[in-house]
């Protein structure tokens, strides 16, 4: 173990770092795969990411009915949580992202039918 001094916002902290080998490393949680959905019809609406950020919460599930303006998910950008809302009334056909995923502007997030 190594001890380091770290200054955060003008305050000094001592931090111990421990080397971890591949055998001792563990993953905190496994990401779930995106949910597969029924085929998408020609009259579906793709909800794109309005900003670059990280998906921090899904507020709907595949099969849910949603109203225009309803929150579908939250994206964190610059330490702020931003709601991504439904542009139309409809049903959630597919969710193309997982919690923890990094997204770029215009990436497909949710498909409504």
Answer for the pair 72, 57: CB distance below 8 angstroms, yes or no.
no
DSSP symbol at 96 = -
Pairing of β 2-8 and β 11-17: antiparallel
Q: What would the pLDDT profile of 87-105 be if each residue is shown by its tens digit?
A: 999 999 999 999 999 999 9
Distance of alpha carbon 48 from alpha carbon 40, whole angstroms: 16
Strand partners, 11: 8
Q: Supply the pTM of this predicted model.
A: 0.64
Which is more confident, 92 or 2?
Answer: 92
N residues, the chain: 113
pLDDT of 52 strictly over 70: yes
* The pLDDT value given to residue 3: 84
Strand partners, 4: 15
* The pLDDT value given to residue 41: 56
Q: Which CATH number, 3.90.550.10, 3.40.50.10320, 2.40.50.100, 2.60.60.20, labels domain 41-113? A: 2.40.50.100
Answer for the pair 104, 49: CB distance below 8 angstroms, yes or no.
yes
Pairing of β 2-8 and β 90-95: unpaired
Average pLDDT of the chain? Answer: 85
């Amino acid at each position: 173990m190594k001890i380091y001094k770290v200054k955060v916002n003008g305050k000094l902290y001592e931090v111990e770092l421990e080397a971890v080998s591949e055998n001792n490393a563990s993953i905190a949680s496994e990401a779930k795969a995106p949910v597969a959905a029924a085929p998408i019809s020609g009259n579906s609406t793709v909800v794109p990411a309005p900003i670059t950020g990280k998906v921090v919460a899904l507020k709907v599930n595949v099969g849910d009915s949603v109203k225009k303006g309803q929150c579908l998910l939250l994206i964190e950008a610059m330490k702020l949580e931003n709601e991504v809302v439904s542009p139309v009334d409809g049903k959630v056909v597919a969710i193309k992202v997982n919690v923890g995923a990094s997204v770029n502007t215009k990436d497909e997030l949710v498909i409504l039918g």
